[in-house]
Structure 1
Amino acid sequence: MHPMNHGYAWGKRPAITQRHTDADVTAQLLSASQERYVKRTRRSRSRSPGTTLRRPYDKEIVILIIALLVVSIASLYAAGVLFMVAWSRNSTRLRPGGSLLSKDHNLVLPPDSSAGSSGSLPRYLSYLPHSGFHNQRIALENALVLAQLLNRTLLIPPIRLGAPLAYYPFDELYDMVANSTKAGLGHCSSKLQYDSNYPPECEDYQSYTHIPWDWLIDLSNISNWQPLLSGWNFTDAWLQDTLNLLAAEDIFRLKDDSRHQYAFQDFFSLDPPGRKFSESVHIAALLRRPERLIMLGTLFGSSRLHLRSEEHFLFRGRVREQMVFTNAHLVDVAGAIRTALGGSYLAVHLRIGDGSFEVNATNIVRRSWWKLLQVGLEFSDEEILELEEESFPDEDNSEPPIFAPDLPALRSPHPPLLPFPSNATPTSEFPCRGRLHSAPRLRRLNAPLYIATDATSPSLNPLLWRFLRTFPCSFFLEDFAEQTRPLDALRSEVDGVPLGSFLMPFVEAMVAGQAWQVIGTESSTFSAFVTDVLWRRYHGFQIVQRG
């Protein structure tokens, strides 16, 4: 059947009888055309202004066109999705060291499961540590989870205490970590830094040290379900001698160029990663990598792992629960300080000594003071405002601070605490430094308060005067020199550097975590660890998972 146009076959002229001349035919056609034009014009004038659809079937045509467009768009989208899924499942084998990332969607595309020839040989995962201790701790937590999900043995680097290594892109950071092992500098451990003959190569020797992770925390539970291998020193010789990794094709390096480049997720998505990361890495793709060793760069960041599987989320919680400090020396010292404080005391964990925390120290101190009175001693806002006006009349504090709901903590509620004991006092060897409050409404402020802080000379620091004036029984770590003295005898087994000064932040965290109630510094990973993990573990509560 041929397409039709006004009753005539497409491409053919109407038949003309011999009884009419060409002129007659032309005249008849023109007359008929004029007659049709007049009729259309009359119909057009009879319609209301603004009408754009001139025939009844025009609407049907428009509706049909729209429907076809919708169906076409849906078909194209479905085809695109099916293409991406098929590509992700059946992609060709990537050469070792090749990119796993889709340039269009920043997603890891799983290679063919038949790639590689490692067979049943052990497979490993490593990462590059950097920054301060708690950033290293978060990186270890993420590495432990990834190693478990990837079914690989985790190569554990030592903890670096003291002067931190800043983050750099993969290649630079790898070299920096490898060159910080102090290999060949053993003679520096016996030198005194103020000696006139102090060798120049020993200049930074005492500024940092290393300790193994199992010196600080108990890894035995973790090692029951996750294979671990300590001693990784970031050298090719170690890889060859310890792991028998001899060829370049045995190693896959996922190199980052920025601190927030890669996030790791346990689900497939075409959406960009969101949060603060620029690219998403599909964990299932790494699982199918054939190389015996996967080297990752930075793993710092509580939100770096995006886990939707409840099983994976709970596993990460188990890992974080194991980060409690269990070293016997630290446990003994923290216990002695806790006893000296009387057993029942309040605590604040104040980070105001560096960076943005130092810049905002005044606001941090006030917000922590307010929260301690609200949460720890159950003062009302009106009572706190009145106390603030009486105690600090020269300060402009007419409005209470606003605290946003802590949603992660609300998702992990703990049983309500009993009111703080009204008769709590420190032992007789540690008298209160100020006069006790006698007014009934203020007697709650006589509670022992432990202030863990990185502020210099805290007892003389004017920023902390707010606490000292309000809480007459305030104490700092410097008040417990006798209790902390045993730590001065400890030295690193790695480089012989004295450990005492490096261990004080751990002691402070443990003492604060064992308090009746502890208030941390907002946005501090250290304080979050104290409030979310240590305090809850010491009190038998479920930890708070962030990220």
Structure 2
Amino acid sequence: MQRYPPGSSLPPNLNTGPRARPGSPRSSSPSFSAAAPTSPRGRIGGSRQLSSGALHHSDSDEEDDRRRPQARKGALPLYSGTRAAGGSGRVLGSRLRGGRLRWVLLGVGVLALLLWKYSPVQDNQAASTATPAELEETVATTKERPIPRPAPPAPQQPKQPPLPPLKIANRPSPPPAPLKIVNVDVHPSSALASSPPPTRNERFLAYSPHSGYHNQRISLENALTFAFILGRTLLVPPVWVGHAIPYISFDKLGRRLEMASKTGLDRCKEFGEGGSKDPVPRECEGYWSWTQVGWEFLVDLREAEKLVPMRERWNQTEAWLEEELELRQGKGKAESPDIYRLKDDTMYQYRFYDSKDDNEPLAKFETRLDITELTQETEAYKLLHVGTLFGTSRLRVFEEANFDARSTFRRAMVFKNELLDEITETIRDRMGGAGRYYGLHLRVGDGIFQKEAKSNMATIWTSLCTNKMKLSEEVCDEMAQASEAKRDPRLRRRALDSPATPSSAIPSSTTPSTSSPFTTETLAHVKRANSRPQREGAYNHAPLPPLPTIKSRQDSPLASSLTCRRPLHTLPHLLPFNAPLFIATDSKLPNSDPNLSIFFDSFPCTFTLGDFASTSATNSEAVEGLTKLNGLRNKDDKVPLGQFLYPQLDAQIAAWGRGLLGTPQSTYSRFAVDVLHQVYHGWEIVERG
């Protein structure tokens, strides 16, 4: 049932007249009037009161008068005149009352005009020189004194300069400065950018890139190694960042790469810059979701160029190959006789071996190809074009020279960008410096990583606490149970009711699931079946200096601009968790992500990349380089680059920490742990395949 304001029995703005009694006359077509007369006092005797803007029936006034209770003694009558003449008395009363009301209104208007005209505030000089207190006093006395008589005008005074505006204590801060846009050249700057015309006997290798950045990186590592063994010049495609092209069979992937071009879409640039108010054309949809940059915009290939000659290939068309490499054209629809195409129908169709003595099984691959035989078969062709080269173990390098070359190519994949390196070093130093904080690379945002987030984070927590921090299982379980109880009221009440309950009696989501392929038996480094043993120093290297015992904020290596999220631990066995922790993650809300809660709960001084972008409760000084990063745009297509570079920056900062741990099954995490972390600390990289 609908409720109405106290003191009223009907909803506002509805008819408040009484219902007609049986037999009383009513109009067949009721009308509504907003100007019906009402008493300033409302109805006498405590009946309902109408506001001046309320609507009511005008055909029930006469019946309403007959039902009206008698007015109390001394009260003004609701209507003037008599009722003997039917409605004439009421009409006469309305006219008389209306006349008096007009005279009253006219008098009030004249009084207000005189007060305004002869008020001392009208004097410009007085108004400009009077203090707020004097103005307030003038207004107060003006209300009490009688209306002054007209006085002769005051002599003309020179105009005074206006007073400066009053300062407002809570004036909003000025808007931030507009973002500085910098168009950067993303093309290579070394010999890769200016390749001479091909020589008569020069042979080339091409491959088809696909998928995300790190899949493309693995493909490039294999392509460089493959070109080194074959003795061919490698055609290097640009890096495709953003919306990726998935793997498909050889011919379909080639056509997809050929069509994936922004040629002829120059008009789309103006929409990205906000220079046009017209609707975005259909051909521009998805224009800003991807772009291409040269590999040397992200990494340093100078050492790799000493081993393998390279030529950039920004154009994926067949016509470009024939013209750039001076290939013979095929007759009709026939392909060029200078191209040998090794076509694949599935991603893991071919596995390449550099030695016939290597008897390693194919594993997930379907067909074995010996590189020595492939070299002889393709020697007469100017271009060898293969499909996908993705897969860490696709190339089995048994020969020592080939193994050394592949190590060089993998080390060359370490990120190398001036602005990203500057930001990384700034945040690293604020976190305490190299090896003075723990680093984690946690993927929970999509696909299999979202599905397996709970078990993956449990595995990483156990590895961090027991293997990296060297703490007992009892301490690790205590922190895990405390984190779980913080979010489960039932567990919290149970812990309070029985504090002596063994830790094993409280179930914890941080216990690795027995159904997960990542159990406690796989927490150590996974040493896959490699063609050669790991180099000395990949695992056995000098340890980093120990972290200080942090009992107070003064003991922490963190910069003074950073503030921990919670008070530090005071119990002696929990002091190791006062160490700083940096989490690189694809979680959109890491602070409130339940998959990451155990790390934020256990480490009071946990930080993510977002904490350094602006000032906040955890950071009093924003990192200027992050603002510059937001302003970077590709010079070619005007697509912002910062959106694609944050994951790379995240991994760099985490890799400078100590004891870096990554997410199982993630090629990105594996690269950060096996290559970035090792190179940053001066250790040999961990080889795979």
TM-score (norm 1): 0.75
Q: Distance in 1 between matches of 2:273 and 2:368?
A: 47
Map Cα deviations across residues 35-87 of structure 1 (whole Å, 9 max, x no partner).
xxxxxxxxxxxxxxxxxxxxxxxxxxxxxxxxxxxxxxxxxxxxxxxxxxxxx
SS at match of 1:337: helix
Matched residue of 1:155: which SS? strand
- What per-residue deviation string (whole Å, max 9, x for no partner) do you get for residues 402-426 of structure 1? 1324243994323333322334432
Distance in structure 2 (CA, Å) of the matches to 1:536 and 1:334: 16
User: Are positions 1:420 and 2:543 aligned together?
Assistant: no
Which residue of the partner structure matches residue 204 of structure 1? 286
Runs of 4+ in 1 over 4 A off after TM superposition: 193-196, 269-273, 398-401
State which of 223, 227, 243 in structure 2 corresponds to 1:147. 227
CA distance in 2, matches of 1:506, 1:265: 32
Residue of structure 1 in register with 2:507 after alignment: 396
User: What letter matches 2:399 in structure 1?
Assistant: S
- 8 Å CA contact retained: 1:252, 1:295: yes
Q: Which amino acid aligns with 2:465?
A: L
Query: In terms of mean alpha carbon deviation, does 472-481 or 388-397 score higher?
Result: 388-397
More displaced 10-residue stretch of structure 1: 421-430 or 452-461: 421-430
Task: Verify the 8 A CA contact 2:483 2:597 in the aligned structure 1.
Answer: no
Greater alpha carbon shift after TM alignment, 533-542 vs 514-523: 514-523
Q: 2:630 aligns with which of 488, 495, 499?
A: 488
| Equivalent in the alignment of 2:423 | 333
SS at match of 2:466: helix
Matches within 5 A, 1:319-358: 319-343=409-433, 344-358=436-450
In structure 2, C-alpha distance between the alignment counterparts of 1:283 and 1:493, rounded to whole Å: 40
Higher relative contact order structure (alpha carbons within 8 Å, sequence separation ≥ 6): 1
Equivalent AA in structure 1 for residue 342 of structure 2 = L
The answer (yes or no) to whether the contact 1:141–1:320 under 8 Å persists in 2 is yes
Report the alpha carbon displacement of residue 236 of structure 1 after superposing the two structures with TM.
2.2
Residue of 207, 227, 235 corresponding to 2:309: 227
Q: Does residue 249 of the first structure (1) align with residue 337 of the second (2)?
A: yes
Contact in 2 for aligned 1:273/1:280 (Cα 8 Å): no
Q: In structure 2, what is the Cα distance between the partners aligned to 1:492 and 1:287?
A: 39
Whole-angstrom distance in 2 between the partners of 1:321 and 1:380? 36
Q: Aligned letter for 2:254?
A: Y
Q: 1:283 aligns with which of 371, 380, 386?
A: 371
Q: Compute the displacement of 1:196 (Å).
A: 5.1
Pairing partner for 2:347 from 259, 268, 281: 259
Q: What's the offset of the Cα at 1:369?
A: 1.6
Identity of aligned residues (%): 39
Is 2:560 the partner of 1:442?
A: no
Deviation, 1:119, is: 9.6
CA contact under 8 A between 1:250 and 1:292: conserved in structure 2? yes
Question: Please, which of 183, 191, 199 is the counterpart of residue 263 of structure 2?
Answer: 183
Q: Which has the higher helix share?
A: 1
Higher alpha-carbon Rg: 2
TM-fit CA distance, 1:462: 2.2
Deviation of residue 179 (structure 1)? 1.3
Secondary structure in structure 2 of the residue aligned to 1:420: coil
Partner of 2:525: 406
* Rounded Cα–Cα distance in structure 2 between residues aligned with 1:392 and 1:272: 45
CA contact 1:128–1:173 (8 Å) conserved in 2: yes
Which of 597, 602, 607 matches 1:475? Answer: 607
Q: Would the aligned equivalents of 2:351 and 2:362 in 1 still touch at CA under 8 Å?
A: no
Ranges in structure 2 where 5+ consecutive residues have no aligned partner:
1-197, 330-335, 486-490, 492-505, 513-518, 550-554, 614-621
Q: Distance in 2 between matches of 1:184 and 1:256?
A: 31
- Distance, in Å, in 2 between the alignment partners of 1:275 and 1:348 is 30
Structure 1 counterpart of 2:396, from 306, 312, 327: 306
Provide, for residues 374-412 of structure 1, a one-character-per-residue CA deviation record: whole Å limited to 9, x for no partner.
233211223212332344244723956513242439943
Q: Structure 1: which 5+ runs fail to align? A: 1-117
Distance 1:391 1:308 in 2: 48
Task: Quote how far apart the aligned CAs of 1:339 are.
Answer: 1.8
407-416 or 201-210, which moves further after superposition? 407-416
Amino acid at match of 2:348: H
Counterpart of 2:641, as a letter, is L
After TM superposition, the score normalised by the length of structure 2 is 0.60
Q: Tell me the C-alpha RMSD between the 2 structures.
A: 2.2
Partner of residue 93, structure 1: none
Map of 1:523 onto structure 2: 665
**Secondary structure at the counterpart of residue 347 of structure 1:** strand
Shift of 1:193: 9.1
CA contact (8 A) 1:192 1:198 kept: no
| Residue matched to 2:584 | 452
The residue identity in structure 1 corresponding to 2:427 is I
Q: For the structure 1 residues 342 and 417, does the alpha-carbon distance in structure 2 shift closer, same or farther, using more than 3 Å as the test?
A: closer
Preserved CA contact (<8 Å) 2:475 2:573: no
2:674 alignment partner, SS class? helix
Deviations 1:12-40 (A, max 9, x none): xxxxxxxxxxxxxxxxxxxxxxxxxxxxx
Contact 1:532 1:544 in 2 (8 A): yes
CA distance in 2, matches of 1:175, 1:353: 31
1:74-153 matches, within 5 Å, as 120-153=200-233
* Secondary structure of the structure 2 residue equivalent to 1:295: strand
Q: Name which of 646, 652, 666 aligns with 1:504.
A: 646
How many residues align? The count is: 430
CA 353–512 in structure 1, closer or farther in 2 if over 3 Å, else same: same
Match of 2:209, SS state, is: coil
1:378 match: 470
Separation in 2, partners of 1:387, 1:203: 49
Would the aligned equivalents of 1:136 and 1:159 in 2 still touch at CA under 8 Å?
yes
Corresponding residue number in structure 1 for 2:170? none
- Matches of 2:273 and 2:458, distance apart in 1: 40
